[in-house]
A and B are shown apart, each in its own frame.
Chain A
Amino acid sequence: MTQIVTRRELVLAFIIVAMVLLIGVRAPVFLSFDNLRFVVTDTSVLIMMALAQMTVILTRGIDLSVAANLALTGMLVALLSRALPGLPIPVVMLVALLIGAGLGLVNGLLIAGLGIPPIVVTLGTLAIYRGAIFIVAGGAWLTSKDMTEAFLAFPKAEFLGLSSLTWVALVVTIGFYVFMTLTRTGRGLYAVGGNPVAARYCGVSLRLSQVLVYTLAGTISGLAGYLWVARFGIAYADIGIGYELTVIASCVIGGVSIAGGIGSVIGTVLGALFLGVVANALPLINISPFWQMAISGAVILAAVIVNTRSEWKPQKLILHEARRAAAGGQK
């Protein structure tokens, strides 16, 4: 918390604003309040998922199973709501959080407990969770006809001019901001990823951190699962397929280092907003969705090039005069 906003984040924010304005010149409708509100609503789930993914990447991990978790949890709560139509929505959401947390905990336990690399574990659970959707639903699609009014209504509801999705994303963002800057556990995640050995010397446990971040990623995926299924009124095995890559891309564009230890809440939110704007704007100015993928890809590479700190191996300071120079050269 040395600075609230870094220069890099300011640049990214500037790029997003510039992009919005430029697109507005070509398609003025893009700048309307309704449209901007829609873009933010449309990006809300991505923001939440990217923030959770950020905590994972901070610890030098990766969670590829988040979209599969989203789809499985979405299907399970849709089935639950069909079986028990009277269930209040807060209970449905709670169940979604719990299912998601459970699926995430499985990742955390496998990674922290058995020491299996995160990419392998989550690649495995990705496939398992996707497969499970097909099994629990017997291969069926659930559409809005299978869901109750209340179940479908929540994501479309509005409070004070903003969609409930936006409000949820806002609450989650504030929650993550407080967690990452004002709690020992949150600051410990930076320590674990930045220098695992030093973290151990400080009594910060890598394993506990891992269990925590994968569970957290799962919990948010579960919540997103309900929001997604209810918003689009459909649940099947392939929803959000490949979405984990968009989530990871948001983090990378937002300045989260894949090498761990670096990343901020604000940067990650900006990264997600960037992709949200690109996704919503390009169709409007008649650019095909295929270009959209190429643009996202190019931006990811550009972001990584910006992030790459000089990789040269620093020389050791052994000579007496070199040590003196290093000690005296700094203010």
Chain B
Amino acid sequence: MADTTDDQPGARAEAEPILRLSGVSKRFPGVKALEGMRLDLYAGHTTALVGENGAGKSTLVKILTGIYTPDTGSLVVDGVERTIHSPRDAWADGITAIHQEPVMFDELSVAENIFMGHMPVDRRGLIDWSSMIARTTELLERIEADFAAKTQLKRLGVAQKHMVEIARALSHDARIVIMDEPTAALSAREIDDLFRIVADLKRQGRAILFISHKFDEIFRVADRWTCLRDGCLVGEGLIAETTEDELVKLMVGRSIDQVFPKREVAIGEPVLEVAGLSNATEYADISFTLHKGEILGFYGLVGAGRSETMQGLMGISPPTRGTIRINGHEARIAAPADAIDAGIAYVPEDRQIQGAVTALGIRENMSLASLAKTANKTGFVAYAAELARTRDLGSKLAVKAAHWDQKLMELSGGNQQKVVIAKWLATKPQILILDEPTKGIDIGSKAAVHAIMADLAAEGLGIILVSSELPEVMGMSDRIVVMAEGRMVRVFDRAGATPEKIVSVATGGMA
């Protein structure tokens, strides 16, 4: 559809931006999320913000909506310098956002969800329910929603909840509307409806920041684009003057300059054969073979179903169909304990939540997954054996700690991750699944984790590496499985993989 660019965007672009963000930097412990970022938004224009997973898009949205305060940088709205410290400041500046995941209140009504934080009140300061219901009804009619203002939110489906988010953004009557992957949960018809709303907003002279991974959508609704990579601005321009190829190149742009300690290892017998693994809503028809000594990468956008597939393999959310064979024998995995017995170890994505017990020491953490094997016949934990194994694994993985009983909360993220990996190695697995193993840890520790992976593969372990970091997947894997929307879309050989091809396949381009 070319209807979005039929007036002359070139001429309008000369105009002053309604919002200008410049020199914005934001650091988190160990990570720099944004560095000297600039962003211009223009009235009546839709600007697409593109970038890979983790490029800093969400951080930027959170800064604009007052969830995060930037370390440095300035924000100019309508030529006036502003600071945003809270969501209320953002509203005051006319900025509102539709967030990626609906953030709402299941127990409250649609009307309350839309007006939470800014409910209309009467002269006595009491909530004016009738006006709130009336305004909600009006908003719902405007976006052609098929539910009532008083409906309790938990009775709505996912797409309907998204409509509520949209209505909430509209309720602020904002001049600047941020849409963070607003189509993620919508069907084709609902996406059309959403784009009609976007066109309406543009006609009313509002500025829209549109974040999406889907290029067809970007080329359909956006007038301008801004590209982020590793927290920095790498390019901006008019949509009419660019191509999908050019944007993909900019997004992945970096040469893989990082050196990965990948080693040539003789690939052995198949250790894990998965056929037709599916569950009801998260993944379907997953089939692959993992060999001894092989590192199999899984790449996809955030939310492509990679972690869910791994959780299926682990028996955390058991699959409804499909077979898993380990060393040629069919394995029945109904619970994580079955998977551990079968020789699968899973280092989950969220180290803090699912992996490390930070209040316990290194020795206790390392034994958690293998307590049954540590305990002697009486059921008590054999302390000497436990300590010896902790020392073994700890030195093998080069865990830096004052002593083996040091609490995990006192260790760096990288060292915590090593302990979590060691915990699973203690179960003597044949298959090791690492889910985002280097997320949020410093470069030195990343290199150490990569070295450990290479060593383990050389010892004959089959390793699955789930990662959203393209250089890591490409640098460490023998083969790369690309997933999108819960399905495998393509498997690349190490030799045949290029960043452009992988990103293109993962974002639904030519498969």
Which residues from chain A sit less than 8 Å from chain B, CB to CB?
Answer: 1-2, 178, 181-184, 187-188, 190-191, 194-195, 197-204, 261-262, 313, 315-320, 322-324, 326-331
Partner of B284, one of A197, A198, A313, A319: A319
Binds A, one of B118-126, B219-227, B462-470, B495-503: B118-126
Given contacts A204-B116, A330-B155, 12 further A-B contacts (CB under 8 A): A2-B152, A178-B126, A184-B121, A190-B105, A195-B106, A202-B87, A202-B117, A203-B88, A203-B91, A315-B308, A319-B282, A326-B158
B121:A318 contact, CB within 8 angstroms: no
B67 CB, min distance to chain A CBs, angstroms: 7
Binds A, one of B182-190, B240-248, B325-333, B361-369: B182-190
Interface residue ranges of B98-126 to A (CB < 8 Å) = 99, 103-109, 112, 116-119, 121, 125-126
| Chain B window 472-502, contacts with chain A (Cβ cutoff 8 Å), 1 for yes, 0 for no | 0000000000000111000000000000000
Residues of B within 8 A of A183 (CB): 125-127
B257 contacts chain A at the CB level, 8 A cutoff: no
Residues of B within 8 A of A331 (CB): 146-147
A327:B105 contact, CB within 8 angstroms: no
Which residues from chain B sit less than 8 Å from chain A, CB to CB?
Answer: 65-67, 86-88, 91, 99, 103-109, 112, 116-119, 121, 125-127, 129, 146-147, 150-152, 155-160, 185-187, 190, 279-284, 303-305, 308, 317, 485-487
A315:B116 contact, CB within 8 angstroms: no
A194 CB, min distance to chain B CBs, angstroms: 4
B159:A327 contact, CB within 8 angstroms: yes
A318:B187 contact, CB within 8 angstroms: no
Partner of B157, one of A181, A315, A316, A326: A326
- The docked-state distance in angstroms from the alpha carbon of A2 to that of B160 is 18
**Total of A-B residue pairs, C-beta within 8 Å:** 135
B51 CB, min distance to chain A CBs, angstroms: 22
Residues of A within 8 A of B308 (CB): 315-316, 318
Residues of A within 8 A of B190 (CB): 327
B283:A319 contact, CB within 8 angstroms: yes
A203:B86 contact, CB within 8 angstroms: yes
B87 (CB) vs chain A CBs: closest residue: A203
B421 CB, min distance to chain A CBs, angstroms: 25
Residues of A within 8 A of B87 (CB): 200-203
Residues of B within 8 A of A200 (CB): 67, 87
> A319 with B157: in contact, given A187-B116, A201-B99 (CB under 8 Å)?
no
> A195 with B156: in contact, given A184-B127, A315-B279 (CB under 8 Å)?
no
Residues of A within 8 A of B185 (CB): 317, 323, 327
Q: Pick from A183, A204, A262, A317 the residue with the most CB of B within 10 Å.
A: A317
A239 CB, min distance to chain B CBs, angstroms: 36
- The docked-state distance in angstroms from the alpha carbon of A183 to that of B127 is 5
B492 CB, min distance to chain A CBs, angstroms: 21
- The docked-state distance in angstroms from the alpha carbon of A330 to that of B103 is 20
Partner of A318, one of B65, B103, B303: B303
Residues of B within 8 A of A187 (CB): 108, 112, 116, 119, 127
Residues of B within 8 A of A181 (CB): 127
B350 CB, min distance to chain A CBs, angstroms: 14
- The docked-state distance in angstroms from the alpha carbon of A198 to that of B109 is 15
- The docked-state distance in angstroms from the alpha carbon of A330 to that of B157 is 6
> A1 with B158: in contact, given A187-B108, A187-B116 (CB under 8 Å)?
no
Residues of A within 8 A of B67 (CB): 200-201
- The docked-state distance in angstroms from the alpha carbon of A199 to that of B158 is 19
A315:B280 contact, CB within 8 angstroms: yes
A219 CB, min distance to chain B CBs, angstroms: 19
**Could you list some 21 contacts between A and B, CB below 8 A?**
A2-B150, A178-B126, A187-B112, A187-B127, A191-B108, A191-B116, A198-B116, A201-B67, A203-B66, A203-B86, A262-B107, A317-B282, A318-B304, A318-B485, A319-B284, A322-B280, A323-B187, A327-B187, A329-B157, A330-B156, A331-B147
B116:A188 contact, CB within 8 angstroms: yes
A198:B126 contact, CB within 8 angstroms: no
- The docked-state distance in angstroms from the alpha carbon of A198 to that of B116 is 10
B145 CB, min distance to chain A CBs, angstroms: 12
A319:B281 contact, CB within 8 angstroms: yes
Residues of A within 8 A of B119 (CB): 184, 187
- The docked-state distance in angstroms from the alpha carbon of A182 to that of B129 is 8
- The docked-state distance in angstroms from the alpha carbon of A190 to that of B153 is 13
Residues of A within 8 A of B116 (CB): 187-188, 191, 198-199, 202, 204
Partner of A198, one of B91, B105, B155: B105
A316:B282 contact, CB within 8 angstroms: yes
Residues of A within 8 A of B150 (CB): 2
B296 CB, min distance to chain A CBs, angstroms: 20
Partner of A319, one of B107, B151, B486: B486
Partner of B283, one of A199, A202, A262, A318: A318
> A1 with B105: in contact, given A203-B91, A316-B282 (CB under 8 Å)?
no
